[in-house]
Structure 1
Amino acid sequence: MRFQLSDDQTALRDGMRELLARRFDGEALRAAVGAPGLDRGLWRELGAAGFFALRLPEADGGVGLGLPEAVLVFEEAGRALLPGPLLATHLAAADVPGAATGEAVVARVDGGLVEWLAEADAVRGDASGALPLRSVDPLTPLHRVAGAADPDPDPVAVLLTAAEQLGTATRACELAVQHARTREQFGRPIGAFQAVKHLCAEMLVRAETARAAVYAAAVTADRVDIAAARLLADEAAVRGARDCLQVHGGMGFTWEAEVHLHVKRAWVRAQRGGGGTRSHETLAADLLGLMF
């Protein structure tokens, strides 16, 4: 199975990266942390770029692309730490008016948690009685719905969450390598020290292993492949962001750095859809089926 991107897929990925670099750069990220709230102008711009309508058929006003392309744009969103209920709005594009164009913001109840409930124009699921939580991620406000049903997670939602985690894993690796090349101790770049080399190498291996799994699951759309991809992507994001923080040392916790934000976002995403527990259960059930 080949996972080399087509010219159109490469152009889609590069176009999304350019849009986010122009519209949500490091300065905008820090401003968003300092003044939480959803940028409706950016949301509509994402809608105009086809982010939410990517998988809608052209006959319904969508872009008419598939799951592999959605994975690419969600990976870029994760890499940029783009805030907002991206997943919920994307999944609602077919049946919530305004979601496909970015005119509406959609939240969804997911395992008893709701992201961006206060900003939502529509909510998928019963969010009555939701109570605000203090989120570890300043760019992901959370509410908890007591006693909410925990249905089987949507495989597409699981895969796109994995794609966002892959974006964080990739960015964490980039940041660690950049810092290791420029930060000096004892007259040498810290990247010259074996311990730092090992951290960066392990981050790269985890990220690229997760990439292969996520891209493969986007092609097969198989529930078991998606579960495996989610587990690998969660590990690559959480461990990669933590290792990146270790490479940065105390600097990684500062307001100016984005490293700690990747750690916090990776933690929050890892709780979606029942977290890794559901994916482990899916893989275990598949293995038992093969054994018997």
Structure 2
Amino acid sequence: MDFRPTEDQRDLRAGVRGLLEGRYGREALRAAVDAATGTGTGTGTGTAAGAGAGTGTGTAAGAGAAVAVDRGLWRELGGAGFFALRLPESEGGVGLGLPEAVLVFEEAGRALVPGPLVATHLAAGVVPGAAAGTALVTAFDLAGDLVAYLGEADAVLGAAVLPVGEPVRAVDPLTPLHRVARPAGAEAYGSAYVSEGALLTAALQVGSALRTVELAVRYAGEREQFGQPIGAFQAVKHSCAQMLVRAEVARTAVYAAAVTGDPGEAAAAKLLADEAAVRNARDCLQVHGGMGFTWEADVHLHLKRAWVRAEQWRTAAEAEELLAAELLDSAG
């Protein structure tokens, strides 16, 4: 079986990258962060509940309840078929599948596009306006009583009405959180939603992991110590190489799971992608040294987003439980 992207798939990925580079490049990203935090400077620090375990549902200075989603960009993504990608053409969709979806979500993760991309994509054909990007749909995809983007959402996947929540300051300035009392039956997504949601979130993580490799390698080639680029030092070379291996292994797992559609493989892909995104962001920060800890560097944005995504749809513990159950079933 050939897992290499076809020419059409490569063109699709290039088209999405071009759209995002032109519409949501670094300047737009930093402007969104400044608007969300109310300042362009600061320490960029905060505490995430259980940060040592990779969670991202804690607090961060200045996150507030500011608008994080550019509705104009959301509609452009809808017009480009981002949300309707897997809807049949007879229903106004593009008629493609999961392999194509993970490619475009990888690009969105690379650009750190904020918003409930996965939930809105899953809601296409279910919630009016989701496919076209005129509606913003979030989901109960975080553990506990937290919901992301509730203050900006038009609907919640799996809920008949939009619940009322209390704003919670979040570790990622572009992922505003609300604490809600979940309505009865809110967990009843169906296994297909959870599996696909986890896989698409894994694709976002892979995009972020690959981007931090690029950032680390570029900085290692620019920053000089002792008369030569720091990338010439063995420790830095090894760190960048390990980052690339993590990202590529995770990407391979995501692509394979998209082809097979197997829930177990999707869980494994999420597990690998979460680790790649979080650890690569941390290693990228180390390559940047003191510069990496400043608000001006983009590294901390990738780390904070990776923490949040690691808690969405399927956590590491949930993925491990599912894989362990499958192994026990196959052994029996």
Q: TM-score range by the shorter chain?
A: over 0.9
Once the two structures are superposed, what CA deviation does each residue of 1:187-217 show, in whole Å capped at 9, x if it has no partner? 1100111111111010001011001100000
**Equivalent in 164, 171, 177 of residue 142 of structure 1:** 177
1:223 aligns with 2:263: yes
Determine if the alignment matches structure 1 residue 122 to structure 2 residue 155: yes
Provide the rounded CA distance (Å) in 2 between the counterparts of 1:8 and 1:147. 42
2:33 corresponding residue in structure 1:
33
Q: Does 1:57 align with 2:88?
A: yes
d(CA) in 2 for partners of 1:257 and 1:67?
A: 33
Query: Is 2:311 aligned against 1:277?
Result: no
CA separation in 1, counterparts of 2:187 and 2:124? 22
Q: Where is the helix percentage greater, Structure 1 or Structure 2?
A: 1
Indicate which of 71, 76, 79 corresponds to 2:102. 71
- 2:58 alignment partner in structure 1: none
Which deviates the most, 95-104 or 125-134? Answer: 125-134
Query: 2:43: which partner in 1?
Result: none
Partners of 1:133 and 1:52 in 2: CA distance: 28
Read off the aligned partner of 2:154 and give its amino acid letter: D
Note if contact 2:16-2:107 (Cα within 8 Å) is conserved in structure 1: yes
Alignment map for 1:254-265 (pairs within 5 Å): 254-265=294-305
Q: TM-score, normalised by structure 2?
A: 0.85
Q: Paired residue for 2:146, among 94, 107, 113? A: 113
Pick from 253, 265, 268: which aligns with 1:213? 253
| Contact 2:85/2:96 (8 A) holds in 1 | yes
Q: C-alpha displacement at 1:163, in angstroms?
A: 0.2
Deviation at 1:83, TM superposition (A): 0.7
Decide whether aligned partners of structure 1 residues 72 and 187 sit closer, same or farther in structure 2, where only a CA change above 3 A counts.
same
Extract unaligned runs of 5+ from structure 2.
37-66
Q: Residue 259 of structure 1: CA displacement? A: 0.8
**TM-score of the superposed pair, with normalisation by structure 1:** 0.96
Q: What letter is aligned with 2:115?
A: G
The letter for the 2-side match of 1:131 is E
Q: How many residues align?
A: 292
SS at match of 1:14: helix
Q: Which moved more, 1:50-59 or 1:118-127?
A: 118-127
Q: Tell me what 1:167 maps to.
A: 207
Secondary structure class of the residue paired with 1:195: helix
Q: State the AA in 1 paired with 2:247.
A: A
CA apart distance, 1:146: 4.4
* Alignment equivalent of 1:45, drawn from 70, 76, 84: 76
Per the TM alignment, residue 85 of structure 1 is displaced from its structure 2 partner at its CA by: 1.1
Which amino acid letter does the alignment assign opposite residue 33 of structure 2? V
Which residue, 242, 256, 262 being the options, matches 1:202?
A: 242
Match of 1:266 among 300, 306, 326: 306
Deviations 1:93-146 (A, max 9, x none): 111111111111111112333111111111224563533221100011112334
Q: Distance in 1 between matches of 2:180 and 2:268?
A: 28
Cα deviation code 1:146-200 (max 9, x no counterpart) = 4676556611000000000000100011100001111001111001111111110
Tell whether 2:129 aligns with 1:98. Answer: yes
Quote the Cα distance in structure 1 between the aligned partners of 2:3 and 2:210. Answer: 17
Indicate yes or no: 2:223 matched with 1:183: yes
Percent identical residues:
67
Question: Measured at CA, do residues 223 and 274 of structure 1 come closer, stay the same or move farther in structure 2, by a change above 3 Å?
Answer: closer
User: Which amino acid in the other structure matches residue 16 of structure 2?
Assistant: M
Q: Secondary structure of 2:167's match?
A: strand
Pairing 1:234–2:274 present = yes
> Aligned partners of 2:187 and 2:234: how far apart in 1?
45
Runs of at least 4 residues off by over 3 Å: 125-129, 146-153
* Secondary structure of residue in 2 paired with 1:240: helix
